[in-house]
Amino acid sequence: MALPFVSEAWQIYTLIFVLQSSSAAFTPTFQATIPDVLPDEREYTRALSLSRLAYDLENLLSPTLAAVLLLVVSYHSLFFGTVVGFLASAMLVISLVLPKPKAIARRSFFARTTRGLRAYLATPRLRGLLAISLSVSAAGAMIIVNTVVLVQSQLGLGQPQTAWALAAFGGGSMIAAFVLPRLLDRVSDRTVMLSAASFLPLALAGMTIASTYSAILLLWLATGFAYASAQTPSGRLLKRSSNEENRPALFAAHFAASHACWLLCYPLAGWLGSIVGLGAAALVLAAIATVGVILAFVVWPSTDLGEIEHLHPELPDDHPHLIEHSPQGRHRHTYVIDEHHLGWPR
C-alpha cells in the first residue's frame, strides 16, 4: 500500500528490502511444507513442476495484465488491486489445514540459525546442488539483466520484441515443467540436473554469436528449458536429504545459498555488460557457469545412495537410535545430517 506514495529512490529500495525479506520468510516455509502434504515422491515431483509452471505463468501474465489494466485505471488503483491480491493469498493460506510440526529440542540461537547451513554443506548432493545453483544464476542473470539491452540497443528493436524474447525464455521453462515429471520417473535427478546445467555455459557462449532475433528466440527457449530442468528437481534433493525436524532449516539454507549466487551474478551481468560489452559479459558468466558444473560433477558422487550402512561408536548401546535400528551398532537407513549424524560417511 506504500507504493503509490513513493517520492524518493531510497524509499523504493527500502520497500524492495521489506518485500524480499517477507519473501525470504515465506518461500522456504512454503517449499518445506509441500513434502509433508505430499509424501509420495511422484506426487511431490508433479507438485514441483506445477509450482514451476505457476511461477512462469505469473511472470508472463502479470506484466501483460498490468499493461491492459493501465489502459482503464491509474497506476495507484493497480497498486491497491495488488494489495487485494496479497490479502486474498493470505486468506487462502490461513484457510489451509497443514500438518503440525513436531516439537524439537531447544537449542541456542547460533545453533538454530546455522544448523540448516551446516547440514546443507555436509551433504554431498546438496553441495552439488549449490554448484548447479551457481551455473543457473549465471545464465539467469545474463538473460534477466541484459535481454532488454541486447534486443533494443544492439538489434534496434522495440519493447514488444523484448517481451517476446523473455516469453521464449519462460516458455522453455514451462515446457520443462511439463516434461520433467515423466523424465524423472526414468532418469536420476543427478543425470537430469547435471545435463541441463552443462548446457548453460554453452548457451552463454552462444549468446556472443547470436546476431539475429530469431536466433535469440531459439537460444532463449533452449536456455529456459535447461534453466528449469537444472533447478526444478532441487526440492527432491532437499526432501531426500532431510527429515521432518530439520527440513525447514534445510530449505531455508538452500534459499540463502542460492540467492548468494544471484547476489554475485546479477551485478556482474550488469557491470560487465556496461563496461566491456555484452559479449565479454556472456563469456565471463559462461566461465562461472562452467566452474559450477565442474564443481557439481566433483562434489556430487555418481553413486548417490539414499540408505548408507554406518556405525555410531560415540553412542551408548542403549541409545534409542541404536535400539530402533540395530543393537549391534552397524545398521543401514536413509542417511541425513541430524543430531545423530553430524558428518557424511566416507
**Angle at 25 (CA atoms; ends 234, 92), nearest 5 degrees:** 90
d(CA 124, CA 54): 30
Length of the chain: 346
For the residues 205-233, what does the mean pLDDT come to? 93
- pLDDT given for residue 331 in this prediction: 65
d(CA 78, CA 64): 13
- pLDDT given for residue 266 in this prediction: 93
Does 197 map to a domain?
yes
Does 29 map to a domain?
yes
pTM: 0.85
Over 80: is that where the pLDDT of 110 sits? no
Over 60: is that where the pLDDT of 7 sits? yes
Does 148 map to a domain?
yes
Cα-flanking dihedrals φ and ψ of residue 277, to 5°?
105, 160
Confidence tier at 142 by pLDDT (50, 70, 90): very high
Does 323 map to a domain?
no
Confidence tier at 139 by pLDDT (50, 70, 90): very high
- pLDDT given for residue 315 in this prediction: 64
Q: Convert the pLDDT of each residue in 248-292 to its tens digit.
A: 888 989 999 999 999 999 999 999 999 999 999 999 999 999 999
Strand 307-310 to 331-334 pairing:
antiparallel
Does 277 map to a domain?
yes
Does 314 map to a domain?
no
d(CA 197, CA 171): 18
Identify the domain containing residue 26 by its residue range: 3-299
For the residues 147-170, what does the mean pLDDT come to? 89
Does 344 map to a domain?
no
For residue 112, what is the domain's CATH number? Answer: 1.20.1250.20
52-56, 88-92, 322-326: least confident range: 322-326
**Rg from Cα positions in the chain:** 22
What's the number of domains the chain is made of?
1
Which residue, chain included where needed, has cell 551474478? 265
Over 90: is that where the pLDDT of 35 sits? no
Helix (H, G, I), strand (E, B) or coil at 178: helix
Does 342 map to a domain?
no
What number of other Cβ atoms are within 10 A of residue 36's Cβ?
Answer: 15
Are 265 and 144 spatial neighbours (Cβ–Cβ below 8 Å)? no
For the residues 158-175, what does the mean pLDDT come to? 89
Mean pLDDT of the chain: 86
Over 60: is that where the pLDDT of 66 sits? yes
| Cell (9 digits) for 266 | 546479477
Q: What is the DSSP letter of 276?
A: T
Percent of the chain whose pLDDT exceeds 70: 86
